[in-house]
Amino acid sequence: MAARVDHGVVSGTFSLDGETFEVDNNVWVVGDDAECVVIDAPHDVDAIRAVIGDRKVRAILCTHAHDDHVRVAPALREQVVAPILLHPADRPLWELTHTDYLWDVDLTDGQQIEVAGTTLVALHTPGHAPGAVCFHAPDLGCVFTGDTLFQGGPGATGRSFSDADQIVASIRAVLFQLPDETVVHTGHGDDTTIGAEREALGSG
Ligand SMILES: [Zn+2]
């Protein structure tokens, strides 16, 4: 059975630097009918589990440690009994949300995560956050970019632990190496493609 991508939208808040915003987050689930991995753990465990169904969860993959992406990761871990994976450069952000728990496995650039007969490749793309990671699924022709690349351009870099020059450098050096037709599944909002965003960002 071929792996597929399932999707939900979960509403809640994002807080950083003393401000709080209402946000809708995408949660992405990659797998088949038997097993899956979850990309990000926003806001509400029940809403995430509705996308998972009764499948075995192999891992909870975090694109970065902003609170709207990891707040319920430990609660989800407890329910589905799967390790949380996060790039260690995001520890300062993680610790703003979770002081009693750490994640389980450090993500590294180029790391391969196998699920349901397909492979996700972790791509370290710092800028929105120091430990921001995208997950490329070559067999599925898509990449999960978290808040690094959206429909319409790079993610926000106005707050602490972000770097505007670095996010653009990461997008050009890493994400724009992927084929134009690669579908981009983002952390918030609609899908796009690598080709559309390459054209929009220009060669600068
Ligand atoms: Zn973020």
Q: What is the pLDDT of residue 202?
A: 82
Mean pLDDT, residues 87-110 taken together: 97
Compute, in angstroms, the gap from residue 91 CA to the centroid of ligand 1.
Answer: 14
CA dist 144 and 137 (Å) reads 8
Q: How far is residue 180's CA from residue 156's CA, in Å, rounded to a whole number?
A: 23
- In angstroms, rounded to a whole number, what is the distance separating the alpha carbons of residues 11 and 43? 7
Contact 49, 80 (CB under 8 A): yes
| CA 187 to centroid of ligand 1, rounded, Å | 8
Confidence label for 204 from pLDDT (cuts 50, 70 and 90): low
Ligand 1 center to residue 193 CA distance, Å? 20
Distance 163 CA to ligand 1 centre (A): 12
Spell out the alpha helix ranges (H) of 86-163. Answer: 91-97
Which position has the token pair 């918030």? Answer: 188
In degrees rounded to 5, what are phi and psi of residue 113?
-115, 120
Residues 48-80: tens digit of each pLDDT: 999 999 999 999 999 999 999 999 999 999 999
Determine the distance separating the centroid of ligand 1 and the alpha carbon of 101, expressed in angstroms.
Answer: 20
